[in-house]
Structure 1
Amino acid sequence: MSVLKTTDLTKKFGKFTALNGVNIEVNKGEVFGFIGPNGAGKSTTIRVLLGILKATDGEAKIFGRDAWKDAVEIHKRIAYVPGDVNLWPNLTGGEVIDLFVELRGTNNKSRREELIKKFDLDPSKKCGTYSKGNRQKVALIAAFSSDADLYILDEPTSGLDPLMERVFQECVMDAKNEGKSILLSSHILSEVERLCDKVGIIRQGQIIETGTLDELRHLTRTSLLVETKQPIPALGNVNGVWDIVMKDQALSFQVDTDELDNVMKYISQFGIVKLESAPPTLEDLFMSHYEGVRKTSDSGAGGAL
């Protein structure tokens, strides 16, 4: 069941097209990772979903309602955490959390206390004294204390230390297990890979890849570390082989997934002594789209002894 769906979503600022036909869909009980570099259109998409910006064309629907026309009703069922939280400096963290939770009409004090303890927040301090990380904690505690159906999280772990990132990840998984839906915009690829059921990659206002990690991994390369009895001649000329690097007595390189079988047949002729392979990661996929990969054509890159 679709909780959030955009169809050919377009947003223009004058002559500049910030979003160009963006299509994303988040289903019930699903964590959707929304990734891309700064300026790619992530935050603009989220502002349209929140009803802060009106789309130039296309549509954005949450719970089957129009994100712009029905924003007030939609907001009763969503929780939003931005990447840079601004709080009332003269209120304490606890007062702000209570305010946000009460605005949503929920009052789960045990959940609130549990999260304050987990995130190691002192709720008695005024928000004006908080670091960026502590301001993020206040917003996250308020969001996960409320009984939302959809969480829209825009770089939510910005400013958190690794231990608190782990607590955040536990909160996301708890929400998912309760059947909640999460749209997670993040630049921390390991976080997205660990949490998300589906991923959408946006570049220059357009979605360039979307799907489950398994569906996307065929587009990436497998990393191999190979040591052989005899040197491997002209490995750089073999189709699908990239980025050859000599490491001690072994060769490290990447292989296009659809050429893996042929590459393995070729290198096995030279007597494999050691073979290590690492599955393609989300970072491999991301970098292949944004930086491109230069193929090593130096056939003299060596062999392994």
Structure 2
Amino acid sequence: MPAIECRSLTRYYGDVRGIEDVSFAVEDGEVFGFLGPNGAGKTTAIRTLLGFLSPTSGGATLLGHDAADPVASRRARERIGFLPGDPGLDRDRTAGAFLDHQAALRGESSRDRLVDRFGLDESRRIGDLSRGNRQKVALVAAFMHDPDLLLLDEPTSGLDPLLQEEFAALVRDRVDDGASVLLSSHVLGEVAALCDRVGVLREGHLVAVESVSDLRSRGGKQVRVRVAEDVARADFERRDVMNLRVGETVSFTWTGEYDALIDLLSGYSVLDLDVVDAPLEAAFMTFYDGDVPGPAGGGNGGRSAETRGGDAPATPAPADATADSGGGDR
């Protein structure tokens, strides 16, 4: 059974779409990335999965438990590590007191090791900590009970590059121990380095689920070629050529087959040729050109939460959502 199975999950805020008809699965031992800009629906999906928001329709299971069943969902969350996108930590507590509280709820088998690993000073008041150090506290809280499933919303926000590398190593360690991970991010490099597959969210719709390698190939190849002859620009103005620049060196993004590229260049005496993968950003942007796609079978045309400038409109949190304010699941 998958660690997460999401079936046509939909969450509306009145007539404003948070997510609509989202379906995917996260397999055991997999790192699955939610990729999309701010406002795409990533946080809404995670909060609905955890039961902090009630779905408008559809459903999901976490570790085999029905996410919409309060008792089953609470039982699942005992084995889940959750890192909110904006941890609402109690600023008047020390880091140690906050972690003591979290440990009483779920355990702390790896707490000391993680505190040392992140260089966290537990004696300091949370309100006196920098953004990066508060993120360290939330990370320790999410990981310290060795969860079987991790749901991490923008986990490296506020971390410096060295700590981002430490976080990536921590995720790999948990996966090596059998855990599964759902990781939300708009940082493409982070997703490429950590994830096995990615789901691309656009205005509340899951528009693609692909392996990272397939996502990268979608962006095509960057080609730089220098030839002996004068270049006829018209030779390169074709469907599988984008971002064409003609000068002493001709450069473009190639989205076609290699054989067709060779045929194109065969009319010239090639002096120098460089072909590399296009940046992941180029692949990602292919999902953000043109009209907004609807879910399979069509949608109901509601406005997206993204039009409000955020991932979720401001609504009163359900009672169970107090867990979200603590930097870890309850």
TM-score normalised by length of structure 1: 0.89
Q: 1:287 aligns with which of 277, 285, 288?
A: 285
- 1:142-161 equivalences under 5 Å are 142-161=141-160
CA distance in 2, matches of 1:252, 1:286: 20
Shift of 1:280: 3.8
Deviations 1:73-129 (A, max 9, x none): 11111010012122122221122223213311x232xx3233222222222111110
- Give the Å deviation of 1:154: 0.3
TM value normalised by structure 2:
0.82
- Counterpart for residue 120 of structure 1: 119
Q: 1:135-214 to 2 correspondence within 5 Å? A: 135-214=134-213
State the partner residue of 1:31. Answer: 31
- How many Å separate the matches in 2 of 1:230 and 1:98? 72
Q: Secondary structure at the match of 1:2?
A: coil
- Report percent identity of matched pairs: 39
> Contact between 2:31 and 2:181, CA under 8 Å: does it hold in 1?
yes
Partner of residue 93, structure 1: 95
Question: Is this contact kept in 2: 1:30–1:176, CA < 8 A?
Answer: yes
2:243 is the counterpart of 1:243: yes
8 Å contact kept, 1:200–1:210: yes
Indicate the structure whose relative CO is greater, using CA pairs within 8 Å and at least 6 residues apart.
2
What displacement does 1:284 show?
Answer: 1.8
SS at match of 1:23: strand
Aligned equivalent of 1:278, options 259, 273, 276: 276
Residue aligning to 1:20? 20
Q: Which residue of 2 aligns with 1:71?
A: 73
Deviation at residue 191 of structure 1 after TM alignment = 0.4
Shift of residue 259, structure 1, vs aligned partner: 3.5
Q: Is the 8 A contact 2:253 2:278 kept in 1?
A: no
TM superposition shift of 1:20: 1.3
Stretches of structure 2 that go unaligned for 5 or more consecutive residues are 291-330
1:2 matched to which residue of 2? 2
Q: Is the 8 A contact 1:236 1:242 kept in 2?
A: no
What is the distance in 2 between the residues matched to 1:242 and 1:37? 23
Unaligned 5+ residue runs, structure 1? 293-305
CA distance in 1 between counterparts of 2:18 and 2:44 reads 7
**Shift of residue 155 of structure 1?**
0.4
Asked whether the equivalents of residues 231 and 270 of structure 1 are also in contact (C-alpha less than 8 Å), the reply is: no
Q: Counterpart in 2 of 1:299?
A: none
Runs of at least 4 residues of structure 1 off by over 3 A? 215-218
Letter in 1 for 2:182: L
What value does the CA root-mean-square deviation take over the aligned residues?
Answer: 1.7
- 2: CA distance, partners of 1:91 / 1:218: 48
What is the CA-CA distance between 1:266 and the residue it aligns to? 1.2
Deviates more, 1:89-98 or 1:54-63: 89-98
